[in-house]
Amino acid sequence: MERLVITGGRRLNGEISVNGAKNAAVAIIPAVILASGVCVIENLPYIEDVVSLVDTLTRLGCKCGFRDRHTLVADSSGVSETQAAFDSVRKLRASYYLVGALLGRFGEASVTLPGGCNFGTRPIDQHIKGFEALGAEVRIEHGQIIAKAAKLRGAPIYLDVASVGATINIMLAAVFAEGTTVIDNAAKEPHVVDCANFLNIMGARVKGAGTDVIKIQGVPGLHDCEYTIIPDQIECGTFMIAAAATGGRVTLKNIIPKHMDSISAKLSEMGCSVREGADFLTVEGAERLKPVTVKTMVYPGFPTDLQPQMTVLLCVAGGTSIVKETVFDNRFQYITELRRLGCDVTIDGRVAVVEGPAKLTGADVTATDLRAGAALIIGGLCADGATSIGNVKYIDRGYETIEHNLSSLGADIKRVRAEEPT
């Protein structure tokens, strides 16, 4: 087992290019199943979740190959298998997109229930509600989601929650459905828009992505395409917060500044300087970080996927800060590990009260999920002495060689085999 070992106390300085968006990639790769020809997808992050999904598509009969680390060439004309029950499916939550894509193309799908980060219940009732509205019969049996439809017909669907996964999954299932599908209370995240744009470039007719109402007009088929996915809002935000936490000055390149607005605003409120260019931004930490209240919301609000990283930043800010998690019902499990570094955080349900500035000291900690792992890295960067982080596999699911990027910014971080002395 590998660990990341960080010796803290160094300011991050310099510039890095942000990778392609994980949550766009894990939606667009399954969407390839809907195409009848060859798709070339560029700017993919080379992360575990992408490799797992490409492996799954290959097992379904899709001819996949990487032209380079970040470019996938996929020909799904030969896909005939509608049963995805491989180990690779269980590894990630985004496997559920295989249901929408297989159901959309073949009228049937049988997919192992998804895995992914464990922070509270992560139901899929809204996905099922959408598939059933389109005319599918859906049941869960022997750990599989089984969906079948003699014919998919467009329908109005009002989501009880603005679910990212349900919005994208219904879009995928509705692409060829007869007539018009309307998704109301749709999620507006950048990766929802990116997936809609990918479908449209192949000939789909998806309108309104990025707003509360998405309309999908069924089409007979989709053609070849070349597509470049958007930069990763969460990776960019993670490095912005790390720069602020270490009092450094970091420029993030190849980004969409608009996607970062809620993070830029919050860091500015804390006293940091955030300066934007056309496709980059520069964050400069403040000598004294001010306490703030952070409330996670669906896009364009503050992203829940940056809540753990922000909580660590607030631990090293002065005064009392409040973090309200409104998207998931149990996303503070990582606080136990943060306390090993000396963080002073009290949890009350979906609210965390943070007392700062805490004097962090290095410790052995374990990542409980992907973004919790990123938060522990930031904690290690701020702590006196060495921090050793276990369960690096979680971090590798969402960040491409994070230690290389951080080292290039001056961090003392290395990946070691567990049996090696840390």
The site for ligand EPZ (CB under 6 A) is made up of 22-23, 26, 93-94, 117, 121-127, 161, 163-166, 187, 189, 304-305, 327-328, 370-371, 398
Please tell me what DSSP assigns to residue 331: -
Strand 351-356 relative to strand 13-17: parallel, antiparallel, unpaired?
unpaired
- Which among 117, 225, 236, 315 is annotated as catalytic? 117
Which residue sits closest to ligand EPZ, CB atoms considered? 165
3-class DSSP state for residue 130?
A: helix
Six token digits for residue 336: 């136990």
Task: Please work out, in degrees rounded to the nearest 5, the angle formed at the alpha carbon of residue 283 by the alpha carbons of 278 and 288.
Answer: 155
Residue type, 275: R
Token couple for 346 = 């009290």
Which segments of 1-47 does DSSP mark as H helices, in order?
22-31
Nearest approach, Cβ of residue 239 and ligand EPZ (Å): 15
- CB 222 → ligand EPZ: shortest distance, Å? 22
CA 57 to chain centre: 20
Instruction: Determine how many CB atoms are found less than 10 A away from the CB of residue 273.
Output: 13
| 351-356/319-325 β-pairing | antiparallel
Is residue 334 within 8 A of residue 369, CB to CB? The reply is yes
Q: How far is the CB of 49 from ligand EPZ (least distance, A)?
A: 8
- Find the shortest distance in angstroms from Cβ 280 to ligand EPZ: 23
The secondary structure of 346-370 as a DSSP string is EEETTEEEEEE----B--EEE-SSH
Give 15 or 212: the residue with its C-beta nearer to ligand EPZ.
Answer: 212
| 45, 25 Cβ separation under 8 angstroms | yes
Say how far apart CA 88 and CA 353 lie, in whole Å. 38
Q: How far apart are CA 110 and CA 147, in angstroms?
A: 6
Cα angle for residues 56, 59, 60 (degrees, 5° grid): 90
Shortest Å, Cβ 160 to ligand EPZ = 7
The CA-based angle 2-7-246, given to 5 degrees, is: 115
Cα–Cα distance measured from residue 334 to residue 415, given in angstroms and rounded to the nearest whole number: 21
How many other C-beta atoms lie within 10 A of the C-beta of residue 67? 11
- Between the two ends of the chain, the Cα-to-Cα distance in Å is 13
User: Is cis: bond before 357, omega within 30 of 0?
Assistant: yes
> Would you tell me the crossing angle of helices 164-174 and 97-106 to the nearest 10 degrees?
10
CB of 122 to ligand EPZ, least distance (A): 5
Closest separation between CB of residue 128 and ligand EPZ, Å? 7
* Least distance between ligand EPZ and beta carbon 304 (Å): 5
Nearest 5°: the CA angle 394, 395, 396 is 90
Active site residue 225: no
Residues labelled as active-site residues: 117
